[in-house]
Chain A
Amino acid sequence: MYNRRDFIKITSLGLGSAALATTFFDSTTASIFASQIDSTIKFSQTPTYCEVCFWKCAGWVTKNEEGEIWKVEGHKDDPHCNGRLCPRGTGGVGMYHDEDRLKKPLMRVEKDGKQTYVEVSWDEALDFIANKMTEIKEKYGPESMALFTHGSGGKFLGHLMKSYGSPHITAPSFAQCRGPREVAFYSTFGEGVYSPERTDIRDTRCLVLIGSHIGENMHNGQVQEMSEAIEKGATIITVDPRFSTAASKSKHWLPIKPATDLALLLAWTHVIINEGWYDKEYVEKYCFGFDQLKAHVQQYTPEWAYGVTTLEPKQIIETAREMAKAAPAVIVHPGRHVTWYGDDTQRLRAVAILNALLGSWGRRGGFYFPDKISIPSYPHPEYPKATKSYLDAMKGKYNLASEVISNGLCEVTVPSPERDWNIKGWIVNGTNLIHTLPDQKKTMEAIQSLELMVAIDTMPMEITGYADVVLPECTYLERYDAIRNSPHRDPVICLRMPAVEPKYDSKPDWWIAKELGEKLGLKEYFQYKDIEEMLDWQLKKVGSSLKEMQKIGVKTFKRKFDDLYLIDGQDFEFNTSTGKIELYSTELAAEGFDPLPSFTEHKQPPAGFYRLNYGRAPVHTFSRTANNPNLSAIMKENDLWVNPKVAKQWGLKNGQYVWLKNQDDIVSTFSIKVRVTERIRWDSVYMVHGFGHSEKNLSRAFGKGASDTELISNVKVDPIMGGTGMRENFVTFLTEDPKPKEEV
Chain B
Amino acid sequence: MRYAMAIDTKKCVGCNDCVVACQIENKVPEGFCRDWVVEAVSGTYPNLELEYRSERCHHCANAPCVRCCPTGSSHIVEGGIVLVDHDKCIGCGACIASCPYDARYPHPDGYVDKCTFCIHKVRKGEQPACVSVCPTNCLYFGDLDDPNSEVSKKIKERKYKRLKTEAGTDPQLYFLI
| A-contact 0/1 string along B34-58, CB 8 Å cutoff | 0000000101111011111000000
Residues of A within 8 A of B25 (CB): 71
| B-contact 0/1 string along A615-629, CB 8 Å cutoff | 000110000000001
Q: Are B135 and A71 in contact (CB under 8 A)?
A: no
Q: Are B135 and A619 in contact (CB under 8 A)?
A: no
Q: Which of the candidate stretches B8-16, B88-96, B145-153, B163-171 sits at the interface with the other chain?
A: B8-16
Q: Are A71 and B24 in contact (CB under 8 A)?
A: yes
Q: Are B17 and A245 in contact (CB under 8 A)?
A: no
Question: What is the CA–CA distance of A81 and B14 in the complex, to the nearest angstrom?
Answer: 18
Residues of B within 8 A of A245 (CB): 13-14, 50, 52
Indicate the size class of the contact surface on chain A: 35 or more
* Interface status of A678 (Cβ within 8 A of chain B): yes
* Interface status of B136 (Cβ within 8 A of chain A): yes
- Give B92 Cβ to nearest chain A Cβ, in Å: 27
Residues of A within 8 A of B21 (CB): 90
* Interface status of A633 (Cβ within 8 A of chain B): yes
Q: Are B135 and A218 in contact (CB under 8 A)?
A: yes
Q: Which of the candidate stretches A224-232, A279-287, A727-735 sits at the interface with the other chain?
A: A224-232
Residues of A within 8 A of B19 (CB): 87, 634
* Interface status of A465 (Cβ within 8 A of chain B): no
Q: Are A231 and B11 in contact (CB under 8 A)?
A: yes
Residue of B16, B25, B52, B133 most packed against chain A (CB within 10 A): B16
* Interface status of A108 (Cβ within 8 A of chain B): no
* Interface status of A580 (Cβ within 8 A of chain B): no
**Given A86-B135, A90-B17: A679 touches B30 (CB 8 Å cut-off):** no
Q: Are B15 and A224 in contact (CB under 8 A)?
A: no
Residues of B within 8 A of A479 (CB): none
Residues of B within 8 A of A643 (CB): 45
* Interface status of A680 (Cβ within 8 A of chain B): yes
- Give B21 Cβ to nearest chain A Cβ, in Å: 5
| A-contact 0/1 string along B102-141, CB 8 Å cutoff | 0000000000000000000000000000001111111000
Residues of A within 8 A of B11 (CB): 227, 230-231, 249
Contact of A87 among B17, B45, B137 (CB under 8 A): B17
Residues of B within 8 A of A635 (CB): 16
Q: Are A629 and B45 in contact (CB under 8 A)?
A: no
What total of A-B pairs shows CB separation below 8 Å?
Answer: 113
Q: Are A93 and B24 in contact (CB under 8 A)?
A: yes
Q: Are B50 and A618 in contact (CB under 8 A)?
A: no
Least CB separation from B10: chain A residue: A230
Contact of B20 among A91, A215, A223, A682 (CB under 8 A): A91
Residues of A within 8 A of B49 (CB): 248
Question: What is the CA–CA distance of A63 and B22 in the complex, to the nearest angstrom?
Answer: 16
**Given A619-B15, A678-B44: A224 touches B20 (CB 8 Å cut-off):** no
- Give A88 Cβ to nearest chain B Cβ, in Å: 8
Q: Are A84 and B46 in contact (CB under 8 A)?
A: no
Residues of A within 8 A of B137 (CB): 84, 224, 227-228
- Give A108 Cβ to nearest chain B Cβ, in Å: 34
Contact of B24 among A70, A218, A619, A678 (CB under 8 A): A70
* Interface status of B73 (Cβ within 8 A of chain A): no
Contact of A634 among B20, B41, B132, B133 (CB under 8 A): B20
Q: Are A678 and B41 in contact (CB under 8 A)?
A: yes
Contact of A86 among B17, B24, B132, B138 (CB under 8 A): B17
Contact of B134 among A84, A226, A243, A634 (CB under 8 A): A84
Q: Are B13 and A618 in contact (CB under 8 A)?
A: yes
Question: What is the CA–CA distance of A102 and B15 in the complex, to the nearest angstrom?
Answer: 29
Question: What is the CA–CA distance of A255 and B43 in the complex, to the nearest angstrom?
Answer: 14
Q: Are B133 and A85 in contact (CB under 8 A)?
A: yes
Least CB separation from B48: chain A residue: A243
* Interface status of A220 (Cβ within 8 A of chain B): yes
* Interface status of B23 (Cβ within 8 A of chain A): yes
* Interface status of A630 (Cβ within 8 A of chain B): yes
- Give A256 Cβ to nearest chain B Cβ, in Å: 10
Contact of A73 among B13, B15, B45, B133 (CB under 8 A): B133
* Interface status of A681 (Cβ within 8 A of chain B): yes
Q: Are A215 and B13 in contact (CB under 8 A)?
A: yes
Question: What is the CA–CA distance of A679 and B43 in the complex, to the nearest angstrom?
Answer: 9
Question: What is the CA–CA distance of A634 and B48 in the complex, to the nearest angstrom?
Answer: 25
Q: Are A218 and B15 in contact (CB under 8 A)?
A: yes
Contact of B133 among A90, A243, A255 (CB under 8 A): A90
- Give B91 Cβ to nearest chain A Cβ, in Å: 22
Residues of A within 8 A of B46 (CB): 243, 253, 255
**Given A90-B133, A248-B50, A633-B31: A618 touches B17 (CB 8 Å cut-off):** yes
The 4 closest A-B pairs by CB, nearest first: A215-B13, A618-B15, A248-B50, A227-B136
Q: Known pairs A81-B135, A678-B45. 5 more at Cβ < 8 A? A: A91-B20, A216-B13, A248-B51, A619-B15, A677-B41
Which residues of A does B touch, CB under 8 Å?
Answer: 70-71, 73-74, 81, 83-87, 90-91, 93, 215-216, 218, 220, 223-224, 226-228, 230-231, 243, 245, 247-249, 253, 255, 618-619, 629-631, 633-635, 643, 677-682
Q: Mind listing 7 A-B residue pairs with CB under 8 Å?
A: A231-B10, A243-B48, A243-B50, A245-B13, A618-B15, A635-B16, A680-B45
